[in-house]
Amino acid sequence: IKVLMKRASHPKDLTVRVVVDNVDKDKDQNQNNTTDPGDTPPPPTTVQVISLADAISLSVDRNLDLIAATLDSDPPTIRCTQLSKLLYKKEQSLKQSTLQQSKRQQQKTFRFKAGIGDADLERKVQNMIKFLQEGLECEYTVFSKAFLLRSNADVGAELSDRIQELVAEYGVPKRQPQVNEKGNHMKCVLEP
């Protein structure tokens, strides 16, 4: 209100667009008694162009708060609503968006040992394909034992290539598999 008062000498001289939430006390009590708040529709709103003084008296009469919506427009737009409900809705939408974002960023991890049996490899790859189809990234790590590396230095790379062939239709590697210094660990991330 202080920002709006800088534009005019008296509240009656300034016209504003007021968006009013029509909340009756009886409706509030009925809504609080319902078991599922998602079933009740939100209260209707009305838009009025009135003087700032009338907007202040309207908010006092209805025991609501005046909140600036768009002060740069002509006439400025203010909202007449309960601040606690507005903050609650904003908090809920923020929680929902972070939940969706965390689900999108979720990554499943799989571990394979060099020399894994065909049946076990198929089972793990099928699980990986299921997660790729859901839109999740999958990271897999191939471990190679030292005695396997002595007999075949490329045993980890061969298994990694085989895994990528099996999931080729469902996911592509983000980058080439990364190998550690000893050559016994290999990591790769697959995108859907």
- Measured over the CA atoms of residue 160, residue 164, residue 167 and residue 173, the dihedral's sign is positive
State how beta strands 15-21 and 45-51 pair. Answer: antiparallel
Tokens 């290999």 — which residue? 186
Residue 8: pLDDT over 90: no
d(CA 176, CA 118): 24
Taking residues 76-80, report their average pLDDT.
Answer: 87
Q: pLDDT tens across 133-145, in order?
A: 988 889 999 988 8
Residue 105 has a pLDDT of 63
pTM: 0.46
Q: Which two tokens stand for residue 145?
A: 């034992």
d(CA 9, CA 7): 7
Single-letter amino acid, residue 29: Q
Single-letter amino acid, residue 167: V
d(CA 164, CA 169): 9
SS3 121: helix
Residue 34 has a pLDDT of 44
CA distances (Å), origin 145, targets 74, 115, 156: 73, 9, 9
What are residue 111's DSSP bridge partners?
141
Comparing 192 with 40, the larger pLDDT belongs to: 192
Taking residues 156-181, report their average pLDDT.
Answer: 87
CA 48 to chain centre: 35
- Measured over the CA atoms of residue 21, residue 26, residue 27 and residue 28, the dihedral's sign is positive
